[in-house]
Structure 1
Amino acid sequence: MTEWYLVWVDGLRGPEAQKWSSDALWGQLSRQDVIVRFPLTDREAELPIDQLARLHPIPG
């Protein structure tokens, strides 16, 4: 079963939200630009990035 994550990475213009699946996550774990990773529920995994970013902001 695929799990989904909201991942905040350091982008060119500041923090950027991305949605990653567990299928592709293993290749991304060593990235140095990852700020934080939030596991998503099945319901959250269906939401668009902008809604997920509001639900899971970068920790202050």
Structure 2
Amino acid sequence: MASAPSGDDMFDEFLSQRGHETESVGWERSYNKKQCPDCGGLHEGAATECGVCGWSPA
């Protein structure tokens, strides 16, 4: 039985097949802080997940 991609992988594949670029989303930078791309919360450089909304890079 073949396995299908799950969740975001399937959506990214769908977009890629139709000529859209897909990329992983990571932290943005604001001065010397990490900035959450989802909510804009600022964090120290060692942060691994957003303390405001819970977002973390995949």
Specify which structure has the higher proportion of strand.
1
- TM bracket (short chain): under 0.3
Bigger radius of gyration among the two: 2
Q: With CA pairs under 8 Å and 6+ residues apart, which has the higher RCO, 1 or 2?
A: 1
TM-score (norm 2): 0.26
